[in-house]
Structure 1
Amino acid sequence: MFENIPTWLTLTLGFSAQAFFGLRTALQWLKSEMAHKSVSPVSYWIFSVIGACLMFIYGVLRNDFSIILGQFIAYFIYLWNLHANGIWSRMKTLTKILLPALPFVAALLLLKDAQEYSQNFFSNKDIPLWLVVFGSTGQLMFTLRFIYQFIYSHRRHLSVLPAGFWTISIIGSGMIIIYGIIRLDPVLILGQVFGFVVYFRNLILGSGKKESSDAK
């Protein structure tokens, strides 16, 4: 379905997505260093939404099930955090309709060629089944951190990034880096290496201190 899409465009989308993810991580790290504790700035969730949209498209163009799976689940947790931070209520009505609809529209596009995608994802000679399972597990672990963050924050009625979030991030990121190396995927590798360091730093900053929902 997307065979005619040039490789440079696919990679541009992928690197753009990782740029937004990298920017959210860099800003969160900077604000955490300034606050001397791990914080959850609003910018983290705004850039997460933008990056997720681009990464989902990249996963479709790459015929990579593990990428698509991870982004689809995390997307709605990003939106919840926008709501928890008071951003959602200030958005235009049309934006509130379009943002939740985006992943479903993409899913419908996939369903049109469900059999073809199933063959590409699970029977692709370039991606052995064990590697698909490994990559998907890494993405699920990476997504689990946001499920954990959602449960933790929802119970406190506050958007925070607890220590457990960073621990799960380290595990998931490590698996994705290994997957990216095996797949020779520079987008996944470069996108995770920087974050891997930041996750460790946030664990150190958050050690013995109460997490905060915003930077001062």
Structure 2
Amino acid sequence: MSFIVILIGLLAQVFFSARILIQWFLSEKKHEVISPTLFWVFSLMGSYLMFYYGWLRNDFSIIVGQFISFYIYIGNLSLKGVWKKVPLLFRVLIILTPPIILTIYSHNDGESFVDVFLRNKDIPLWLVVFGTIGQITFTFRFVYQWIYSVRKKVSSLPPTFWWISLTGSAVIIAYAIMRQDPILILGQSFGCVSYIRNLMIGYNSSKKGNA
């Protein structure tokens, strides 16, 4: 990997790690699992960079995962009333960037696009499928979280969100080890600690509430 690719990936993981630290710290402080605005702001920024990292790495599974969760982050910022405060032009640019880039490159050379992502000699198809399953599972946590939050009409992070996070993260770590991708290994390993701790905080909070 070139230095610029590593830098983009590291910066994305910095944002993802920062969101975890902030959410974890504030949850510990309140003794209950919370969904702070900065969690979603940093999620969006990290996802934006991770999308480019996946593209530069020719990694289809990363792109699929980021593409879906990207818009859920925006949805949560909308629930919190923050998204509408962002200048309109900037909002449009953020929303359209991922599909425009993906469309341009795939349209210009569709066969090459398939060869790079699905017939890549450096990544066997079974490994692409395995990694994609991990990313889809990991991303599904935000689909679940979004449905849950819409029903509750407030952005929240329920216990099932953390269980799905742990499952998806385990698959991605295994994929990253096989791909020898230190960026993914670092980010996911750090996240696992937070997922387990949030489950513990949520459990303790629930016990106190039922006491």
Decide whether the 8 Å contact of 1:139 with 1:172 is kept in 2: yes
1:65-112 CA-partner distances (Å, limit 9, x unpaired): 000000000000000001011101211111221121111122123312
Return the letter of the residue paired with 1:185: D
Q: Which residue of structure 2 lines up, in the alignment, with residue 76 of structure 1? A: 71
Displacement, 1:209? 3.5
Return the alpha-carbon distance in structure 1 between the equivalents of residues 188 and 125 of structure 2.
Answer: 23
Q: Which residue of structure 2 lines up, in the alignment, with residue 93 of structure 1? A: 88
Q: Which residue of structure 2 lines up, in the alignment, with residue 179 of structure 1? A: 175
Return the alpha-carbon distance in structure 2 between the equivalents of residues 89 and 128 of structure 1.
Answer: 43
| 4+ residue segments displaced more than 3 Å | none
Return the alpha-carbon distance in structure 1 between the equivalents of residues 72 and 165 of structure 2.
Answer: 15
3-state SS of paired residue (1:127) = coil
1:168-187 CA-partner distances (Å, limit 9, x unpaired): 00000010101000000001
Return the alpha-carbon distance in structure 1 between the equivalents of residues 205 and 144 of structure 2.
Answer: 19
The reply on whether 1:11 has 2:6 as its aligned counterpart is yes
Decide whether the 8 Å contact of 2:19 with 2:43 is kept in 1: yes
Question: In 2 relative to 1, CA 43–191 (structure 1 residues): closer, same or farther, beyond 3 Å?
Answer: same
Q: Which residue of structure 2 lines up, in the alignment, with residue 188 of structure 1? A: 184
Q: Which has the higher contact order (CA 8 A, sep 6+)?
A: 1
Decide whether the 8 Å contact of 1:16 with 1:51 is kept in 2: yes
3-state SS of paired residue (1:124) = coil
Return the alpha-carbon distance in structure 1 between the equivalents of residues 10 and 62 of structure 2.
Answer: 14
Please, which runs of 5 or more residues in structure 2 have no aligned partner?
207-211
Q: Which residue of structure 2 lines up, in the alignment, with residue 213 of structure 1? A: none
Return the letter of the residue paired with 2:134: G
Aligned partner (choices 147, 150, 154) of residue 146 of structure 2: 150
| 1:1-216 correspondence to structure 2 within 5 Å | 7-111=2-106, 112-207=108-203, 209=205
Percent identity of equivalent pairs: 48
Q: Which residue of structure 2 lines up, in the alignment, with residue 3 of structure 1? A: none
Larger fraction in helix: 2
Decide whether the 8 Å contact of 2:31 with 2:205 is kept in 1: no
1:154-213 CA-partner distances (Å, limit 9, x unpaired): 001100000010000000001010100000000100011110110000011111636xxx
Give the count of matched residue pairs: 205
Return the alpha-carbon distance in structure 1 between the equivalents of residues 14 and 35 of structure 2.
Answer: 19
1:9-35 CA-partner distances (Å, limit 9, x unpaired): 011101110110000011111001001
Please, which runs of 5 or more residues in structure 1 have no aligned partner?
1-5, 211-216
Decide whether the 8 Å contact of 1:63 with 1:117 is kept in 2: no
Return the alpha-carbon distance in structure 2 between the equivalents of residues 68 and 114 of structure 1.
Answer: 16
Displacement, 1:118? 0.8
Return the letter of the residue paired with 1:95: F
